[in-house]
Amino acid sequence: MKDIKVKVLRLGHRPGRDKRLTTHVGLVARAFGADEISLSKDDEKVKESIIDVTKRFGGNFKVEINDEWKQTMKNWKGDIYHLTMYGEKISSYEEKLKKRDKDVLIVLGAEKVPRIVYDLADYNISVTNQPHSEVAALAIFLDRLFDGKELNLDFDGEIKVIPQAEGKYIEKN
């Protein structure tokens, strides 16, 4: 599907408030074709949850805790896309995303994002200029990045969901 590395950088995480949301950011990143996520705040339970899903449902998705997010952004060798409702509309970048030839770092904030993030990013992009979830923004961005091909990814794990018109069917390896 791709020949580039895609990494998600999750900025901030309020343990009492963002646990489920940060977990969902990781799950969407994995399911929609990203290679790894870097969490800027240490929350072992979130990390373990994402790793557990990867183990059970498959894939080579990596999870790291890295509080040096500025260095990650400064040292990134590819394109940096900061997803923010204040950015330019994603529709103006669709052709560039289809012709990508560099690794991609996707930056998602949880708390108020420091001004330097906007400056370090190559592109500040919005999926809408209205308040919305970063999970939705990530899913839409990855869908545009991979041109819908991520929806057909096949993961080799302990559990495989078999699509059904009705009911649930899973295979266990």
Question: Which residues does the annotation place in the binding site for S-adenosyl-L-methionine?
Answer: 83, 109-113
CA–CA dist 75, 40 (Å, integer): 15
Question: Residue 142 gets which letter from DSSP?
Answer: H
Give Cα separations from 56 to 52, 66, 77, 156 (angstroms).
Answer: 6, 24, 32, 9
Residues forming the annotated binding site? Answer: 83, 109-113
Strands 170-172 and 159-161: antiparallel
Burial (CB count <10 Å: 0-12, 13-18, 19+), residue 90: buried
Reduced to 3 DSSP states, what percent helix, strand and coil does the chain have, rounded to the nearest 5?
A: 40, 25, 35
The token pair that represents 58 in the structure block:
């498959």
